[in-house]
Amino acid sequence: MKAVDLRIYGRVQGVSFRAWALEHARSLGVKGWVRNHPDMSVLAHLEGDADAVDKLVDQLHDGPRAARVDRVIAVPTEAKGMDGFEIRAP
């Protein structure tokens, strides 16, 4: 089990980034959440199989086609026992 908190900077709001992250997380079996932050970044909490989490983190460096990811900050954290993956309100 691996868990990580992310902050993603760039053109990541208004480009379906959260929906894209939700789809990719669910396809990999990663649990957690994603949400917009008022500073125009996106926050995420990911947990699950280490290989799946690492793969999703790599994918989040690119994001959907309309996005432009400038920087991703990843901080290891404790798993929270999430049941699924969801989009949360800011």
- Residues tagged active-site: 18, 36
Q: Which tokens hold the place of 30? A: 């990663």
Q: What are phi and psi of 13, to 5 degrees?
A: -115, 145
Tell me which amino acid residue 79 is.
Answer: A
Count of C-beta atoms within a 10 Å radius of residue 16: 16
Contact predicate 43/5, CB 8 Å: yes
- Neighbouring-strand partners of residue 79: none
Tell me which amino acid residue 42 is.
Answer: V
